[in-house]
Amino acid sequence: MIDPKAYFEKELAAHADVLNAVRTTLADPFVRMLDVWTTAIEHGNKIVFFGNGGSAGDAQHLATELAIRYIKDRPPIAAMALTTDSSALTAAGNDLGFEQLFARQITALCKPGDVAVAISTSGRSSNVIAGLKEARRMGVIATALGGRDGGDMVALADPIIIVPDQASARIQEMHITLGQMLCGALEIRLGLVTE
Protein backbone atom coordinates (compact mmCIF):
# COMPACT_ATOMS: atom_id res chain seq x y z
CA MET A 1 0.00 0.00 0.00
CA ILE A 2 1.25 3.48 -0.85
CA ASP A 3 2.19 5.99 1.82
CA PRO A 4 0.96 9.18 0.10
CA LYS A 5 3.13 11.54 2.14
CA ALA A 6 6.27 9.47 1.52
CA TYR A 7 5.46 9.32 -2.19
CA PHE A 8 4.85 13.07 -2.23
CA GLU A 9 8.26 13.72 -0.68
CA LYS A 10 10.03 11.18 -2.92
CA GLU A 11 8.63 12.67 -6.13
CA LEU A 12 9.45 16.24 -5.13
CA ALA A 13 12.97 15.19 -4.17
CA ALA A 14 13.44 13.53 -7.58
CA HIS A 15 12.10 16.65 -9.30
CA ALA A 16 14.46 18.85 -7.28
CA ASP A 17 17.45 16.67 -8.21
CA VAL A 18 16.70 17.03 -11.92
CA LEU A 19 16.02 20.74 -11.55
CA ASN A 20 19.45 21.18 -9.96
CA ALA A 21 21.08 19.19 -12.78
CA VAL A 22 19.29 21.38 -15.34
CA ARG A 23 20.41 24.52 -13.53
CA THR A 24 24.07 23.49 -13.65
CA THR A 25 24.21 22.12 -17.22
CA LEU A 26 21.64 23.72 -19.53
CA ALA A 27 22.06 27.51 -19.35
CA ASP A 28 24.15 27.65 -22.54
CA PRO A 29 21.80 25.53 -24.71
CA PHE A 30 18.88 27.54 -23.29
CA VAL A 31 20.47 30.80 -24.45
CA ARG A 32 21.28 29.30 -27.86
CA MET A 33 17.66 28.18 -28.28
CA LEU A 34 16.41 31.62 -27.26
CA ASP A 35 18.75 33.23 -29.81
CA VAL A 36 17.39 31.00 -32.59
CA TRP A 37 13.76 31.69 -31.66
CA THR A 38 14.41 35.44 -31.43
CA THR A 39 16.15 35.66 -34.79
CA ALA A 40 13.41 33.68 -36.51
CA ILE A 41 10.58 35.82 -35.17
CA GLU A 42 12.45 39.06 -35.83
CA HIS A 43 12.81 37.96 -39.48
CA GLY A 44 9.10 37.21 -39.93
CA ASN A 45 9.33 33.46 -39.46
CA LYS A 46 7.41 31.11 -37.16
CA ILE A 47 8.06 28.40 -34.61
CA VAL A 48 6.42 24.98 -35.01
CA PHE A 49 6.33 22.41 -32.22
CA PHE A 50 5.73 18.66 -32.46
CA GLY A 51 5.98 15.47 -30.46
CA ASN A 52 4.04 12.37 -29.40
CA GLY A 53 1.90 11.70 -26.34
CA GLY A 54 2.79 13.99 -23.45
CA SER A 55 5.21 15.78 -25.76
CA ALA A 56 2.29 16.49 -28.12
CA GLY A 57 0.56 18.15 -25.18
CA ASP A 58 3.71 20.18 -24.50
CA ALA A 59 3.85 21.20 -28.17
CA GLN A 60 0.29 22.52 -28.01
CA HIS A 61 0.91 24.24 -24.67
CA LEU A 62 4.02 26.10 -25.84
CA ALA A 63 2.56 27.11 -29.20
CA THR A 64 -0.43 28.56 -27.38
CA GLU A 65 1.76 30.48 -24.93
CA LEU A 66 3.36 32.21 -27.92
CA ALA A 67 0.41 32.68 -30.27
CA ILE A 68 -2.02 33.85 -27.59
CA ARG A 69 -0.09 35.07 -24.54
CA TYR A 70 2.19 33.85 -21.79
CA ILE A 71 1.63 36.07 -18.74
CA LYS A 72 0.68 39.52 -20.03
CA ASP A 73 -1.35 40.69 -22.99
CA ARG A 74 0.88 41.51 -25.96
CA PRO A 75 0.92 41.07 -29.75
CA PRO A 76 0.91 37.44 -30.92
CA ILE A 77 4.08 35.54 -31.74
CA ALA A 78 3.86 33.27 -34.81
CA ALA A 79 3.78 29.70 -33.47
CA MET A 80 1.82 26.52 -33.99
CA ALA A 81 1.71 22.88 -32.97
CA LEU A 82 1.67 20.12 -35.59
CA THR A 83 -0.29 17.91 -33.18
CA THR A 84 -3.71 19.57 -33.26
CA ASP A 85 -5.31 18.98 -36.67
CA SER A 86 -7.08 15.65 -36.33
CA SER A 87 -7.92 15.48 -40.04
CA ALA A 88 -4.30 16.04 -41.08
CA LEU A 89 -3.02 13.59 -38.47
CA THR A 90 -5.43 10.81 -39.40
CA ALA A 91 -5.04 11.36 -43.14
CA ALA A 92 -1.25 11.31 -42.92
CA GLY A 93 -1.31 8.26 -40.67
CA ASN A 94 -3.71 6.40 -42.93
CA ASP A 95 -2.44 7.48 -46.34
CA LEU A 96 1.30 7.99 -45.77
CA GLY A 97 2.06 6.12 -42.54
CA PHE A 98 2.50 7.30 -38.96
CA GLU A 99 6.17 8.09 -39.58
CA GLN A 100 5.18 10.92 -41.96
CA LEU A 101 2.79 12.78 -39.59
CA PHE A 102 5.14 15.66 -38.89
CA ALA A 103 7.34 15.62 -42.00
CA ARG A 104 4.33 16.07 -44.27
CA GLN A 105 3.04 19.03 -42.27
CA ILE A 106 6.49 20.62 -42.20
CA THR A 107 6.63 20.31 -46.00
CA ALA A 108 3.23 21.95 -46.32
CA LEU A 109 3.45 24.66 -43.67
CA CYS A 110 7.08 25.68 -43.17
CA LYS A 111 9.56 27.76 -45.11
CA PRO A 112 13.30 28.33 -44.76
CA GLY A 113 14.08 30.29 -41.62
CA ASP A 114 11.18 28.88 -39.63
CA VAL A 115 12.09 26.94 -36.50
CA ALA A 116 10.98 23.33 -35.92
CA VAL A 117 11.03 22.30 -32.26
CA ALA A 118 10.89 18.52 -31.83
CA ILE A 119 9.96 17.38 -28.32
CA SER A 120 10.83 13.83 -27.29
CA THR A 121 11.96 12.20 -24.06
CA SER A 122 13.80 9.43 -25.91
CA GLY A 123 14.80 11.17 -29.14
CA ARG A 124 14.04 7.99 -31.06
CA SER A 125 10.44 8.32 -32.31
CA SER A 126 10.44 7.68 -36.05
CA ASN A 127 7.94 10.43 -36.86
CA VAL A 128 9.87 13.00 -34.81
CA ILE A 129 13.12 12.01 -36.54
CA ALA A 130 11.46 12.19 -39.96
CA GLY A 131 10.15 15.66 -39.08
CA LEU A 132 13.62 16.89 -38.16
CA LYS A 133 15.10 15.41 -41.33
CA GLU A 134 12.47 17.15 -43.46
CA ALA A 135 13.05 20.42 -41.65
CA ARG A 136 16.78 20.25 -42.38
CA ARG A 137 16.13 19.33 -46.01
CA MET A 138 13.95 22.43 -46.41
CA GLY A 139 16.20 24.92 -44.63
CA VAL A 140 13.95 25.04 -41.59
CA ILE A 141 16.02 25.37 -38.40
CA ALA A 142 15.78 21.96 -36.70
CA THR A 143 15.91 22.18 -32.90
CA ALA A 144 14.80 19.92 -30.07
CA LEU A 145 13.97 19.38 -26.43
CA GLY A 146 15.20 15.92 -25.46
CA GLY A 147 16.24 13.76 -22.57
CA ARG A 148 18.45 10.79 -21.65
CA ASP A 149 21.26 10.81 -24.25
CA GLY A 150 19.26 12.78 -26.83
CA GLY A 151 18.82 9.73 -29.05
CA ASP A 152 18.82 10.22 -32.81
CA MET A 153 17.90 13.89 -32.41
CA VAL A 154 21.49 14.77 -31.45
CA ALA A 155 22.64 14.41 -35.05
CA LEU A 156 19.68 16.34 -36.45
CA ALA A 157 18.89 19.21 -34.07
CA ASP A 158 20.97 22.27 -33.26
CA PRO A 159 20.44 23.67 -30.74
CA ILE A 160 19.17 20.81 -28.62
CA ILE A 161 18.36 21.00 -24.92
CA ILE A 162 18.83 17.55 -23.36
CA VAL A 163 17.42 17.12 -19.86
CA PRO A 164 20.00 15.05 -17.95
CA ASP A 165 17.76 12.29 -16.61
CA GLN A 166 16.40 8.87 -17.60
CA ALA A 167 12.82 9.12 -16.29
CA SER A 168 10.23 10.31 -18.81
CA ALA A 169 8.19 12.05 -16.10
CA ARG A 170 11.15 14.10 -14.90
CA ILE A 171 12.18 14.95 -18.47
CA GLN A 172 8.67 16.12 -19.32
CA GLU A 173 8.51 18.25 -16.19
CA MET A 174 11.68 20.01 -17.27
CA HIS A 175 10.52 20.33 -20.89
CA ILE A 176 7.48 22.35 -19.88
CA THR A 177 9.48 24.38 -17.36
CA LEU A 178 12.20 25.19 -19.87
CA GLY A 179 9.65 25.76 -22.62
CA GLN A 180 7.73 28.28 -20.58
CA MET A 181 10.97 30.00 -19.59
CA LEU A 182 11.83 30.27 -23.30
CA CYS A 183 8.40 31.78 -24.02
CA GLY A 184 8.82 34.36 -21.26
CA ALA A 185 12.37 35.24 -22.29
CA LEU A 186 11.31 35.54 -25.94
CA GLU A 187 8.58 38.04 -25.07
CA ILE A 188 11.12 40.15 -23.22
CA ARG A 189 13.78 39.84 -25.94
CA LEU A 190 11.27 40.99 -28.56
CA GLY A 191 10.33 43.99 -26.42
CA LEU A 192 6.72 42.86 -26.15
CA VAL A 193 6.70 42.85 -22.35
CA THR A 194 9.00 44.08 -19.62
CA GLU A 195 10.45 41.92 -16.86
The 10s digit of each residue's pLDDT in 128-187 is 999 999 999 999 999 999 999 999 999 999 999 999 999 999 999 999 999 999 999 999
Mean pLDDT of the chain: 97
| pLDDT for 15 | 97
| pLDDT for 40 | 98
| pLDDT for 24 | 98
What pTM, to 2 d.p., does this model score?
A: 0.97
Q: What is the DSSP string of 106-117?
A: HHHH--TT-EEE
**Confidence band for 194, pLDDT divided at 50, 70 and 90:** confident
The 10s digit of each residue's pLDDT in 79-106 is 999 999 999 999 999 999 999 999 999 9
The 10s digit of each residue's pLDDT in 29-44 is 999 999 999 999 999 9
List Cβ neighbours of 145 (8 Å cut-off, separation of 6 or more): 58, 117, 118, 119, 120, 160, 161, 163, 175, 178, 179
Residue 195 has pLDDT above 90, yes or no: no
Q: What is the DSSP string of 32-75?
A: HHHHHHHHHHHTT--EEEEESTHHHHHHHHHHHHHHT-SSS---
| pLDDT for 142 | 98
**Domains parsed from the chain with CATH numbers:** 4-189 (3.40.50.10490)
- What is the average pLDDT across 2-10? 96
| pLDDT for 68 | 97
